[in-house]
Amino acid sequence: MSKVLIFTEIYENDFDSSVLEMISMLRDLNIDSKNIIVAALGDDLYSKESILQNIPVGKVVGYKNIDTNQFNPNILMKLATGIIDQLLPEKIIIPKTSVGQDLAPRLAFKYKYGIVNDCLSIEESDNHWIGVRPVFGGNYLAKVKIKSDKQIFCIRTKVFDEFDEKNINPSIEFFEYEHNIETNSQIIERIQEQSDGIRLEDADIVVAGGRGLGGPEPFDTLEEIAKLLNAAVGASRAVCDSGWKDHSYQIGLTGKDISPNLYFTVGISGASQHMAGCSNSKHIVSIDKNVDANIFKDAEIGAVGDWKNILPGFLDTLQNLVKN
Amino acid sequence: MKILVCVKEVIDPEVPVNSIDIDSDLWKFSPKQGVSKVLNGFDENAVEAALNIKEQIPATDITILSVGKDFSMDVIKKPLSMGCQNLFLVKDDKLDQTDPFVTSNVLYKAIRKIGDFDLILCGRHASDWDNAQVPIGIAELLNIECVTLAKGITVDNNEIVIDRIIPGGIEKVKTSSPILVTVSNEYGEPRYPNLRGIMAAGKIQPTIFSLEDIDLTDEDLISTNEIIEIFIPEKDSNCEFVAGEDEYDIGRNLALKLRDKNLI
Ligand SMILES: Cc1cc2nc3c(=O)[nH]c(=O)nc-3n(C[C@H](O)[C@H](O)[C@H](O)COP(=O)(O)OP(=O)(O)OC[C@H]3O[C@@H](n4cnc5c(N)ncnc54)[C@H](O)[C@@H]3O)c2cc1C
């Protein structure tokens, strides 16, 4: 059985938890975690051995004293290339994080690996791995087989539960980087979005509005509801592209990926590209005037009608409920 | 400055799935009669970025490149009517597939034929196959660096600064030519062509390459992946609709229901 390599990011105090999801996914394919090698990407890994020790696989490899210039993709590419040169893995798994989705195709082209991007899962058939991935914004699912033996699968995060066996510890091997790590592109500054409330990605409840709201003003009501529910506010792309809300509010394929307990939408039709970012919500509850809107295919509770009339009844009742 | 923008025609991503036919032998998508093709939205953002640079540096020349089996001229000429100067097309019946490796090879060889560029812009991905691979493939083949997901691009002499979207914010990336950059919708709405632009575009003849013209070999056309199946995911919708005497009452009952179910 050939070994499988997973790439993962190592931060200041922890590894990216998506690696645990990848291990779960591989377990479903009967790959024992002891047969997995994790390639760690991060700054100054030599000082982070205690973090690497906690990754429950057979082996962890990484470069010793590197400054990745804040995960500069062009530098990560060089490091990943070095690791592949050492290990020559056949199968590579890359979680579709911001770093991973950039790295996966780069490696594929560099090494002529076949790649299936954005997989929701991998199925096995006749000893072949087949990536299952959404196309056309999620309107369709495609099953894709890579013809060569050298394969990269980039896997969506938050689809698999985290692997939670704690009593597996890896052997750790550090490499020395011997080539020139300099790149033409340098990250000179990081600017974090200002947000006063709860982060969309962390919220237990998300209240979101769409084009059906007709303008920026009704978002005040959504903010009010969110405040009462201790929720974060989000929006569809139509809203952000119209400038009613900043793009940091956008949920979906090209926006944020959320997984709240309750996702509450108003005037969002439920286009597949939107649902791509919220289908991991536990419960979806929607208000829309169109009973045939797509959103009601995913929603568990629906209210059909004009939000201008429904929301006041909702808000008044909510205020009473909260008071008591 | 010499800028190249790679663009693609796609089936309008806003049309419902039943307006699209799937060929289940070759796994190709085609629009039903009357369903339009459009320029990939993110490619329009890339065109807009190029045009903004041209406004700042008037001596900029913008070339559009696309590959495919056939093109609808009104779609593929849109960047010209928005204000771009040149159009190159690689057209061949063999280009009827969408393997990212093949597309990247074709674009790469076409670029080598057309000439050197300071900046190559692409949309962050195409809205049909959502692969997000081709731009990176071109950069890798050209052996230049690539910065993905631009929300802003500023050019100052030899220095290019890109506002790149990262989770929770942006990072400023300082780079220099030659560089490939992919542009996201956060860049801002693309402009509408005006009448003068449409007239000017009418006069521009595209340069059309065959595969031989760009020295493409059969090996360049071998796809790496095989599609086994494409299907529409099934959803067992069982939405419970809240009733009420009027819409205000529906709102009220909705709140009560959520409390009932312990969701709030
Ligand atoms: C490549 C690509 C990527 C994309 N990425 C994303 C993404 O990340 N996120 C995203 O959201 N979209 C994305 N989209 C866009 C997506 O396809 C839809 O266009 C978008 O989600 C629609 O937003 P909406 O639901 O707010 O608007 P609409 O689809 O216009 O829906 C508005 C809804 O409001 C309802 N409505 C109108 N008036 C009222 C009223 N008075 N009371 C109650 N209901 C009312 C209507 O019935 C309708 O259902 C992407 C598209 C493409 C092509």
pLDDT at B164: 98
Q: Which fold has domain A200-323?
A: Rossmann fold (3.40.50)
Query: With pLDDT > 70 as the criterion, what percentage of chain A qualifies?
Result: 99
B44 close to B190: Cβ distance less than 8 angstroms: yes
Of the residues A244, A272, A289, which should be mutated to test ligand 1's pocket, given the most ligand atoms within 8 Å of the CB? A289
In this prediction, residues A166-192 reach a mean pLDDT of 94
pLDDT at B158: 87
B200 close to B78: Cβ distance less than 8 angstroms: no
Q: Residue A33 — pLDDT band, cuts 50, 70, 90?
A: very high
Question: To 5 degrees, how large is the angle CA A312–CA A279–CA A125?
Answer: 165
Of the residues A101, A118, A211, which should be mutated to test ligand 1's pocket, given the most ligand atoms within 8 Å of the CB? A211
What digits encode the pLDDT tens for the residues A45-85? 999 999 999 999 999 999 999 999 999 999 999 999 999 99
pLDDT at A256: 93
Nearest residue (by CA) to ligand 1, atom 2, is: B127
Query: How far apart, in whole angstroms, are the C-alpha atoms of residue A190 and residue A199?
Result: 18
**CA–centroid distance, residue B231 to ligand 1 (Å):** 23
Domain ranges of chain A: 4-175, 200-323
Task: List phi, psi (to 5°) of B75.
Answer: -80, -50
Q: Residue A92 — pLDDT band, cuts 50, 70, 90?
A: very high
Task: Reply yes or no on whether the pLDDT at B197 is more than 90.
Answer: yes
Find out whether the beta carbon of B41 lies less than 6 Å from any atom of ligand 1: yes
pLDDT at B237: 83
B35: left (phi over 0), alpha (psi -120 to 50) or beta: beta
In this prediction, residues B145-158 reach a mean pLDDT of 96
Domains A4-175 and A200-323 share a fold: yes
Task: Reply yes or no on whether the pLDDT at A2 is more than 80.
Answer: no
pLDDT at A1: 52
**Nearest C-alpha neighbor of A98 from the set A7, A33, A208:** A7
Find out whether the beta carbon of A289 lies less than 6 Å from any atom of ligand 1: yes
What digits encode the pLDDT tens for the residues B235-256? 878 999 999 999 999 999 999 9
Task: Give DSSP secondary structure letters for B189-217.
Answer: PPPPP-HHHHHHHHHPPPEEE-TTTTT--
Query: How far apart, in whole angstroms, are the C-alpha atoms of residue B92 and residue B211?
Result: 7
Find out whether the beta carbon of A256 lies less than 6 Å from any atom of ligand 1: no
Q: Do B239 and A299 touch (CB under 8 A)?
A: yes
Please give the CATH superfamily to which domain A4-175 belongs: HUPs (3.40.50.620)
pLDDT at B140: 96
Task: Reply yes or no on whether the pLDDT at A304 is more than 60.
Answer: yes
pLDDT at B96: 85
In this prediction, residues A7-27 reach a mean pLDDT of 97
In this prediction, residues A21-42 reach a mean pLDDT of 96
Find out whether the beta carbon of A137 lies less than 6 Å from any atom of ligand 1: yes
What digits encode the pLDDT tens for the residues A136-152? 999 999 999 999 999 99
**CA–centroid distance, residue A269 to ligand 1 (Å):** 5
Task: List phi, psi (to 5°) of B58.
Answer: -60, -25
**H or E stretch including A225?**
helix A219-229
In this prediction, residues A83-102 reach a mean pLDDT of 96
Of ligand 1's listed atoms, the one at least distance from the Cα of A235 is 11
**Nearest C-alpha neighbor of A38 from the set A22, A27, A50:** A22
Residues 6+ apart with CB under 8 A from A178: none
Tokens representing residue B117 in the block: 């560029």
Domain ranges of chain B: 2-221, 235-264
**H or E stretch including B183?**
strand B179-183
Query: How far apart, in whole angstroms, are the C-alpha atoms of residue A116 and residue A143?
Result: 9
pLDDT at B17: 87
Taking a contact as any Cβ pair under 8 Å apart, which residues of chain B between 6 and 35 contact chain A?
11, 13-14, 17, 20, 22, 27, 29
Task: List phi, psi (to 5°) of B221.
Answer: -100, 5
The CATH class of B2-221 is alpha beta
A58 close to A171: Cβ distance less than 8 angstroms: yes
